[in-house]
Amino acid sequence: MNFRVLSLYLIVIFIIFGVISTPKVFAVTADSILVTINPESPAPGENTNITLSSYASNLNSAKISWSVGGKTLLTGVGEKSFSLNAPSASAETAVTVTITLPDGSIKKVVTIKPAIMVLLWQANDSYVPPFYKGKALPTPDSQVKVVALPEIKTGSKIIDPKNMVYAWKQDYTNDQEASGYGKNYFIYTNDYLDKYNNISVNASTTDQKYSLDKGMDIKTYKPKILFYKNDANLGTLWEQALANGHKIQNDETIEAAPYFISPKDIRIPILTWDWSINDSLIDMSVIQKNLLPLKVQPGVSGTSKIRLEINNKYKIFATASKEINVEF
């Protein structure tokens, strides 16, 4: 058998047994186009970037068009990224991307749903006087509670915050014990050495489809004392604190308000109240130690220095002091 006949014979055998075959071409599908949204759950109005990638096709040479509400906003070869502002909290935006490839076109719809998370905090054991319109502030070595209120909307319903998973951090350190399913609050005690604490949380749905991050710095403040006039008929005159040089007339009672001192119930005896007049301590055997009754002697006038120092027996940094000069 000559060489030409042998070659022909081998080719026939290869064809019969399927040894020779054409390469298989894998068509690019919508599933092979990967979409990345950054941030994944944007806040209302936040700039959001959408990026395409593919393991099956070179998108750098493909014509890509981006449209919103039926209007094309960006088109060109290799336009793999598109940016827009997220809609309002109660709305969503559908972004349609068309990828034109040699073997056909692929369309993908990306829905942008904004999400909101608010962190609220309160000082659990910080005193403020009645009718105070401000917020009780944390002081050194006091307890603070932070509550996360995420708002993630699916369809017409908002996911219950109690049905989400939370990962809490204090000063950038994970707190595993405080984290978990339904744990939308975090309680910590600040350190007297820290001027503020950074508290952050990641809230996610159980299926990990939606996720939110939020953090805040919570400052530590010093307690302070303000003096007010306690009127026998009108009660405490909270609308104006006593200024230095206050004029005492006849019988008068000064009331001290130790803002942000711990504990919040100032009647608890762990607080010591040291009143003094002209640096001489006064024996305060009365029940309400925040009240200092004064009596002006007839025919006597002058100026006296009134000072109050408050200490917590168990918290060395929970202290406050105040002094004013009064005239009589």
Task: Give domain limits for the chain.
Answer: 8-112, 116-219, 224-327
Residues 6 or more apart whose Cβ sits within 8 Å of residue 247: 326, 327, 328
Which residues have CB under 8 Å from 268's CB, separation 6+?
none
Q: Which residue has the tokens 């935006």?
A: 93
pTM across the whole model: 0.72
As beta bridge partners, residue 211 has 204
Indicate whether 122 pLDDT > 70.
yes
pLDDT for 51: 96
pLDDT in the model for residue 28:
67
The phi and psi torsions of 157 (rounded to 5 degrees) equal -110, 150
Roughly how many angstroms between the first and final C-alpha of the chain, as a whole number? 137
Q: What is the mean pLDDT of the chain?
A: 87
Look at residue 281 and tell me whether its pLDDT is greater than 90: yes
User: What whole-number percentage of the chain has pLDDT above 70?
Assistant: 91
Averaged over 135-146, what is the pLDDT? Answer: 93
User: pLDDT tens-digit profile of 297-316?
Assistant: 887 888 999 999 999 998 88
The domain made up of 116-219 has a fold known as Immunoglobulin-like (2.60.40)
What's the topology of domain 224-327?
Immunoglobulin-like (2.60.40)
Give the pLDDT confidence score for residue 257 in this predicted structure: 96
Is the pLDDT score of 158 beyond 60? yes
d(CA 123, CA 140) in angstroms, rounded, equals: 11
Pairing mode, if any, of strands 315-327 and 246-247?
A: parallel
Q: Name which of 258, 271, 186, 173 is nearest 221 in CA terms.
A: 258
Separation CA 113–CA 209 (nearest Å): 12
Which of 3.40.50.300, 1.10.287.70, 2.40.30.30, 2.60.40.10 is the CATH number of 8-112? 2.60.40.10
| Residue 116 vs residue 168, higher pLDDT | 168
